[in-house]
Structure 1
Amino acid sequence: MADNNVLNPHPPEFDRFLHACVGKDRNGHAVTLLSALARLGLDPWKETAELVTMGHDEAQVRLEALLAQFRDVPALASKHGKIARDLSQLLPEEPASGSLKRVTSTVADEHLGKSGAIWVVLAIIFLLFQMFMVGGSGSGE
C-alpha cells in the first residue's frame, strides 16, 4: 500500500504551531511562524522537530531567541517573549503519530551522525599520520 505522506511528508501535528501568526509585517500582511523561520534561513519542520525534542522551557527560550532575530515584524521587537510563550503552548507534547516520531528521531540521529562523521575523519587523519611516520622513519637509503 502506498504511503499516505507522499504528498505531505510533514507531521500534521506541526500545522497549528507553524501556521500560527507571529504578527503583521510593515505592509500589514500576517506572517506565520513557518514564514518567519524560513526567512531566517531555517527549515521550519526541522526546527519544530528540534523544539519538540527539547523541554518546554528550553523550547520557549530557543523560540524567543529566534523571534528576537526576526526583523520583518516590527511588533516582535518588544513582544517576542510573550509571543514565544504563546507559541510554545502550540507545540505537540509527545511524538504520537508515526510521522512525528520519524521526524523527531531523524533530528536526534542527525546530531549523532554529525559527531560520528567527525570521529571517522579524525581516525582517518590519525591513520594517515601513522602511515607517514612509519613510512618515513624506515627509509634511510
Structure 2
Amino acid sequence: MTDSPVLNPHPREFERFLYASVGEDRNGYIVTVLSALARLGLDPWNETADLVSLGRDGARARLGALLARFRDVPELASDHGRIARHLSQLLPESRPSGSLKRAVTTAAEGSPGKSAAILPVLGILFVLFQIFMVGGSGSGE
C-alpha cells in the first residue's frame, strides 16, 4: 500500500529533519525542530523548503539564527551553533523540486478542490440527519 498524499501531504524528505530533537525544554520534554519552528510562529514545512533551497551553509546560518531566538530549550542559549550544524546535516541533499515546493505550498494552504467540497457535503449530511431524526419520531397518530 502506498502512502497517500491526502493523508500526509507533506514531503517525506523533510521528516528526518523536522522530527529531530533540538533538546529538552524546562519541563524535561524533548522539543523537535517541527515544534520549535511552530513555536516561533513559522510554518515548519515551508521553512524547511526554504532552508533546503539555501544550501548547507546558508541553512546552517539561518537555522542558527532561528534557534538563537528560541528560548524554550535552555541548552540552545549556549550551543545553538553546534545544534544548527548537526541539524543542517539532516536536511535533504537536493534543492526542493517544483513538485516538492508545490506539495509544501498545497499542504500549507490546503487543497482547494477537496476542502471546498467538504463543507457542502457536511451541510447536506447534517440536513439529512435532521430530517431522519424528526421524521423518525413522528407524531404517533
TM tier, smaller? 0.5 to 0.7
Aligned to 1:67: 67
Residues 1-141 of structure 1 mapped to structure 2, 5 A cutoff: 4-95=4-95, 100=100, 102-103=102-103
Percentage of matched positions with identical amino acids: 71
SS in 2 for 1:38: helix
Aligned length: 104
Q: 1: CA distance between counterparts of 2:77 and 2:105?
A: 34
**TM-score, normalised on structure 2?**
0.67
Asked if the contact 1:13/1:100 (under 8 Å) is kept, the reply is no
User: Can you list the C-alpha shifts for 1:57-78, whole angstroms capped at 9, x where unaligned?
Assistant: 0110000000000000000000
SS in 1 for 2:34: helix
Q: 1: CA distance between counterparts of 2:4 and 2:90?
A: 24
Query: Which consecutive residues of structure 1, in runs of 5 or more, have no partner in the other structure?
Result: 107-141
Q: 2: CA distance between counterparts of 1:76 and 1:40?
A: 14
Q: 2: CA distance between counterparts of 1:59 and 1:42?
A: 15
**TM-score, normalised on structure 1?**
0.67
How many angstroms does 1:94 deviate by?
1.2
Distance 1:27 1:16, change over 3 A: same
The one-letter code sitting in structure 2 at the alignment partner of 1:9 is P
